[in-house]
Every structure is written in C-alpha cells, then in structure tokens.
Structure 1
Amino acid sequence: MVIKKNIILFFFFMDHHTFYISFTFLVCSVSQSGVHYNPI
C-alpha cells in the first residue's frame, strides 16, 4: 500500500524520540486492526 510506503519513508527522516512515539502509535493501530502485539 502507498500509505505503508510513506510511513516507512517518514521513519527515515525522524529522530529516535519521534520514531519511538510513531512506533508506539503504529503498534496501537495494528492492535486495533485485530492483531494483538505486546511490547515488553
């Protein structure tokens, strides 16, 4: 999907702190999609 490609591209231009926030948001989005993922 184009959206996923844009997200990956966006990750390349982010610093670590912003990446962590975005990664957490992405995990939450995946979880809401029905895929259960437990970080830590």
Structure 2
Amino acid sequence: MYDFFYEADKYYNTMVKIRRKLHMHPELGRDLFFTANLVESI
C-alpha cells in the first residue's frame, strides 16, 4: 500500500534540509532553483 504520509514526510524533511543548506550557503540558492526547474521540465 502506498503510504502518502510517509512520502510527504520524506519530501518535507528534504525541503527542510535544503532550506538549512541555503541558509548557510545563500549562493547555492540560484543553482538549486535552476536545477529544480531543469528536473521538473524533463
């Protein structure tokens, strides 16, 4: 059975980690945003 809440939690935790990284390294924000757009367009 597909556990939606588990997936959502995993996704949320990933977002939190990314946000922390961006907070420590603001210059990564632009590259990360570009990469995310690239992945979504595939």
TM-score (norm 1): 0.48
Report which structure shows greater RCO (CA 8 Å, sep ≥6). Answer: 1
More helix by share: 2
Give the TM-score taking structure 2 as reference length: 0.46
Bigger Rg, structure 1 or 2? 2
